Structure 1
Amino acid sequence: MSKKPQAPAAASTLRIEYLPLADLTRWPGNPKEHADGAIAASISRFGFRDPLAIDETTGRLIAGHGRLSVLERAHAAGQPAPQFVQVRDDGMWLIPVTRGGSFADESEASAYLIAHNRTSELGGWNEDLLAGMLGSLDDSLRAVAGFDLDAFVQETTAAAAAVTLPPAPPSEFLNDLITPPMTAAPAGLPQVQTPGPQAADPGATAATPSAPVPATAAPTITTPPPPGGEEYVQLVVVLPVSERNEALAVLKDVRAKTGLETTPAAFMTLIRQYAQANGVSA
């Protein structure tokens, strides 16, 4: 009586192998759409640095469908192989593929295929850091990275302007009002203003630093006072990224030493100390 063959145990080590382009098989019904032009531009500039991945059980692709489509079109058009793609004697391209991984069943493999794409989407961007990094790139690198910096700044500024401030007076949510500007002032771009600490005088305004392109001044925003309380005003403070940590450290130290509950209170303590020491009066 013959024994039923058992499936090989799952490998514990992933490996990269070069497989013929023509032998790669897609996962049926892959729901992810792709920006083929952007993928092609990235591969052309940086090479094929991100291997495809297959499920060893089915032999089908579980990551890299968009990259596979771009490679197939380029190969069919007779274009030269990208960097890190090898060429066989007969002209067939050999593609780096991650192997060694398998799943319990096709449902689990399908879930991984979705998660592989979805987890990246859910992460989003830190807009401050992204703007700073984009500002350090030249136009050609920004284009291949898939971003138009001017459009990004306009969209981000419009989104910030659409935010509705809460009607309640400032409290703990003001503790982190000193935030880094959108960009470290790349040439030709306006400074993006960020909210700053409160002041006691509702009529106070904030100074705007000079910039290569003047930015529209942010309005002074007030919030209605609580019953029997004082009206609040929000000032705009713009700081270079290099000075942000220093300012936050000082305000944090003042709060710790004085027992004050909020950053605006610590800020006003410093203002009053300076005014008293230098004979400045409102």
Structure 2
Amino acid sequence: MKKRQWVIALVGVLAVGMLSGCGNAAQTSSSTSSKTTKMATSSSASSTDPKLAKDEAILKKAQQLNVDGKYKQSNKQLSSIDLADLSKKGFGALKTEFFALQKSNDKFLLKKHKQSKTASTTKSGTAAASSKTTTPATNHRFDGYSKFVGDYTFYNYDSDRPQSDLSIASDGTVTQNNNDGSAYYGTATIKASSATGILSYDVSTGTNDTKTIHANVEVDVVWDSDNEHETYYGYTSYDGNSVLTDGNTYDGNLVNEVWIK
């Protein structure tokens, strides 16, 4: 009788052990399944937008060109990124890096341009001095007009047109960067203006709606490449931004060049 009870007890212990093992196996399986699901979800969440990945690759090339001192080529790489992408969700970090790199390139290009102009003046020697004695000096500095000094963006951006951004330094040095990575350099003079009826965009609306403005200043730029003069009329928009317009029509009902600071 005792032997039979011992056998029954042994069978019971084995049964409990088996059930416990099954429970642990089920728990382990459930844990593994949950972990796999989480990994899959994480992988899906961190997967990169193909367009973002492409733009990041372009930015990386542009950054390396900047490190190598190839600033024009770096800007050319940047120009292949569609600026409309930078306003999309998830492109915030790229947008910050894009404009920081572009500003770095422009800074070095402007420095090279100034050095080139200084070298050219030095080489002119006596001729330059003679010119100064016979030609009235022009003050290119924007003293008293600091509101119109700084970086401007081309309003009503169009990738088919060359203009990208414009920079006016306090000494009147002007740099226009273009969508193909090239740049134009020039020198500007500024004076007060009361011109009225000048064509511009209603920039405070973010639309292509045109309007006529009352100018506060007139900015005359002489481009180094061809000695061509270009006149812009400056004013302050309703939302407080400084705006430059050439007042000319483009493609029928648009304005040729409007820059907003």
TM-score if structure 2 supplies the norm length?
0.23
Question: RCO higher in 1 or 2 (8 Å CA, sep ≥ 6)?
Answer: 1
Tell me which structure has the larger Cα radius of gyration: 2
Structure with higher helix content: 2
TM-score if structure 1 supplies the norm length?
0.22
Structure with higher strand content: 2
